[in-house]
Amino acid sequence: AGFRWPAETVIPVIALVDDNYAIERVEFFYNGGLIGTDTDWPYGFEHVIEGVGQAAFRAIAYDQVGNTTETELQVNIIRSNG
């Protein structure tokens, strides 16, 4: 995935979560640090772009009985011409 900064100012990070039990929360991480927790569907977070480079996002979903699953996405941010 790629984004052009400063033409694009945010990266929408959305977790498509489905579980046979109720989802309790989804935690979102940027380059290893927690940037937000969402407890309501649709589970997502908007990350403000601050410059060019590589970014790693991770989402961990927790259901109400303690099961977890996670996924990671690498994003390339390049400078736009405008």
pLDDT tens for each residue of 19-73? 777 999 999 999 999 999 999 989 998 999 999 999 999 999 999 988 999 999 9
- pTM for this predicted structure: 0.86
Question: Where would I find the beta strands (DSSP E) of 1-82?
Answer: 2-5, 10-15, 23-30, 33-38, 43-48, 53-63, 68-79
Indicate if the pLDDT at residue 81 is higher than 90.
no
Phi-psi region of 66 (alpha: psi -120 to 50; beta: other; left: phi over 0): left
47 and 29 in contact (C-beta within 8 Å)?
no
Place 18 in a pLDDT band, splitting at 50, 70 and 90.
confident
